[in-house]
Structure 1
Amino acid sequence: MASPAHDPGPALDKDGVRLTVDDAIATVTLTNPAKRNAQSPALWRALTEAGRLLPGSVRVVVLRAEGKSFSAGLDRQAFTPEGFDGEPSFIDLARGGDAELDATITEYQEAFTWWRRSDILSVAAVQGHAIGAGFQLALACDLRVVADDVQFAMRETSLGLVPDLTGTHPLVSLVGYARALEICATGRFVTAEEAVNTGLANLAVPADQLDGAVHDLASAVLAVPRDAVIETKALLQGALGRDYEAQRAAERAAQARRLRDLAGLGE
């Protein structure tokens, strides 16, 4: 009888975040459904660590969440005078100097930045509520597949705050300035239908088909040569920051690299 395949177990499993790696696909799972995957500085540090732990073999990273909600946003404990154990409260942060406050927010943002690295393609599988920091975490990924019960909302303004976890740039890029402003200023819910129609989501499926749809998307990406995906992603990411002629030049340079590589002439 053949021995069972070795299961290396999760590469990371702490503070509401689990990272598993299966060859070219890594899965990052939010694992606190009892609190609707509410977020905290400890969770953000775990997400940052997950990004650093990705082996070079990974091409696709799937972000998913256990339970009925993707993430209900920032844990309300952050707004209490005590804050989280071992963490500065929001009041403590406000009382600190500008440099200290800026450094702290920068550290928090790191959990949201690595998903758009050029060497990977990230896909968020989003169900139920994705509010505030949860919305911004979904926006941090390259692509979003949503369940038909999804409800996005940016509620920071209702708390007297602004979205500061890197969500404003992708939101404007996806839906345009006017709609992004309206979504943020009102804090209203965005449904699956609107998300797909406005480009916020790539695909909406019944909730029980969410994992399967994401797997199919990941498989389609893995069927394409990795270097071609990396070059194409870089071209598209830089397109809005270049004028037409600069983008044409970037296309030529990227294609030259691909042709030389395919001809065995690459460096």
Structure 2
Amino acid sequence: MTFNRPEVLNALNRQLVDEALDAVGRLPRDTRVLVLRGAGDKAFAAGADIAEMQQRTLWTDLDFGPRRELARRLEDAPFPTVAALNGFALGGGFELALACHLRIASDSAKVGLPETRLGIMPGNGGTARLARLVGQARALQFILLSEQIDAGEAERLGLVNWVVPAKQFDERVDALVERLVQLPPVATRAVIDCVTRGGGMTLDQAIENEHRWFQICLASPDKQEGVAAFLEKRRPEFSGV
């Protein structure tokens, strides 16, 4: 899925968010992976549309619901969601990237949450998701000072999983997708659920959730195929059914 407003660095206006939310809602049930990226080679998404934001107040904030819903759907998806950061990922754009399960960045990418420069703050999960990834002190520094960091620093902090040369970006994204689509769907869904939801559970609850999913995996056709392929020394062909 591509944010296609390159003339404004793929800034997120209401129409773009609504279209993205509709596209996610229409994905087939057998979807194996979803990649988000920005059109052009300058930006993933450079935040909210400032011209549109100028009209937003507490009383006209009704259009922010779709942005939160889009982030939740990316985070709760039963298949891997990947943010492919091919340039600037700022503000609301970076918040959507943080909601994805995985992030791959071009070595020319820059990320940040610069909202305090506008007299506001992140409003779509940026404070919560960033703090969970880098800790409270670093998140406060990052947000309060409106810091923008390059892809290498983002990788060092654990904000992105991979940094690749800009000239190889498309090739490396395609290679990652190829690996992800070959994963067993049931086990993939199980791992995503356990890891993303486990942080909000007690240790006992998280282990119990893991055990429940482990039982589901054991009873799945994917387990039968995986074991058979291992014994027969061939590549498994997982169906997820």
Scaled by the length of structure 2, what TM-score is found? 0.86
Q: Distance in 1 between matches of 2:72 and 2:208?
A: 27
Q: Distance in 2 between matches of 1:250 and 1:171?
A: 25
Counterpart of 1:33? 6
1:64 aligned onto 2:37:
yes
| Pairs within 5 Å for 1:233-248 | 233-248=192-207
Among 165, 178, 181, the residue aligned to 1:219: 178
The Cα RMSD (Å) is: 1.9
Q: Distance in 1 between matches of 2:188 and 2:34?
A: 14
Q: Shift of residue 79 of structure 1?
A: 4.2
1:163 aligned onto 2:122:
yes
1:49 aligned onto 2:22:
yes
- Give the number of aligned pairs: 223
Q: Distance in 1 between matches of 2:132 and 2:171?
A: 27
Q: Shift of residue 112 of structure 1?
A: 2.1
1:131 aligned onto 2:90:
yes
Q: Distance in 2 between matches of 1:76 and 1:250?
A: 42
Choose between structure 1 and 2: higher helix proportion. Answer: 2
Counterpart of 1:257? 216
Scaled by the length of structure 1, what TM-score is found? 0.78
Q: Identity of aligned pairs, percent?
A: 31
Q: Distance in 1 between matches of 2:85 and 2:153?
A: 14
Structure of greater relative contact order (alpha carbons < 8 Å, 6+ residues apart) = 2
> 2:79·2:189 contact (CA, 8 Å) conserved in 1?
yes
Q: Shift of residue 243 of structure 1?
A: 2.3
Instruction: Spell out, residue by residue over 1:85-128, the C-alpha distance to the aligned partner (whole angstroms, 9 max, x if none).
Output: xxxx21xx43x3xxx74x44323322322112342211111022
Supply the AA of the counterpart residue of 1:178. Answer: A
> 2:78·2:193 contact (CA, 8 Å) conserved in 1?
no
> 1:40·1:78 contact (CA, 8 Å) conserved in 2?
yes
> 1:123·1:214 contact (CA, 8 Å) conserved in 2?
no
Unaligned runs of 5+ in 1: 1-27, 81-88
> 1:130·1:151 contact (CA, 8 Å) conserved in 2?
yes
Instruction: Spell out, residue by residue over 1:40-94, the C-alpha distance to the aligned partner (whole angstroms, 9 max, x if none).
Output: 11111111111111111211000011121212212221244xxxxxxxx21xx43
Q: Distance in 1 between matches of 2:212 and 2:71?
A: 30
